[in-house]
Amino acid sequence: MDRLEGAQRNLERLLRRNAAIDTLFMGTTRLFAVLVASVVVAILLSLLIGAWPALKTFGFGFFVSDQWNPVTEQFGALVPIVGTLLTAAIAMLIGVPVSFGIAVFITELAPDWLKRPVGTAIELLAAVPSIIYGMWGLFVFAPWFADNVQPWVIEHLGGLPLIGVLFQGAPMGIGVFTAGLILAIMVIPFIASVMRDVFEVVPEVLKESAYGLGATTWEVVRHVVLPYTKVGVVGGIMLGLGRALGETMAVTFVIGNAHRLSPSLFMPGNTISSTLANEFAEAVGDLYTHSLIALGLVLFIITFIVLALAKLLLLRLSRQEGERT
pLDDT, one tens digit per residue, over 145-200 is 999 999 999 888 888 888 888 888 888 889 999 999 999 999 999 899 889 989 98
Please indicate, yes or no, if residue 52 is contained in any of the structural domains. Answer: no
Please indicate, yes or no, if residue 303 is contained in any of the structural domains. Answer: yes
Please indicate, yes or no, if residue 271 is contained in any of the structural domains. Answer: yes
End-to-end CA distance of the chain: 55
Please indicate, yes or no, if residue 203 is contained in any of the structural domains. Answer: yes
The residues facing 40 across adjacent strands are: none
Helix residue ranges, H only, the chain: 2-58, 61-64, 78-104, 112-126, 130-136, 142-148, 150-157, 176-200, 204-212, 217-220, 226-246, 249-254, 272-279, 286-324
The per-residue pLDDT for 253 is 92
Q: How many domains does the chain have?
A: 1
The per-residue pLDDT for 320 is 67
Backbone angles phi, psi at 69, to 5 degrees: -130, 100
Please indicate, yes or no, if residue 48 is contained in any of the structural domains. Answer: no
The per-residue pLDDT for 161 is 84
Dist. CA 200–CA 198, nearest whole Å? 5
Q: Residue 52: is its pLDDT beyond 90?
A: yes
Length of the chain: 325
pLDDT in tens, 211-242: 888 888 888 888 888 888 888 888 888 888 88
The residue segments making up the domain with residue 172 are 61-324
Question: Which of 254, 265, 250, 269 lies closest to 174, judged by CA?
Answer: 254
Dist. CA 80–CA 85, nearest whole Å? 9
Q: What is the CATH number of the domain that holds 279?
A: 1.10.3720.10
Please indicate, yes or no, if residue 230 is contained in any of the structural domains. Answer: yes
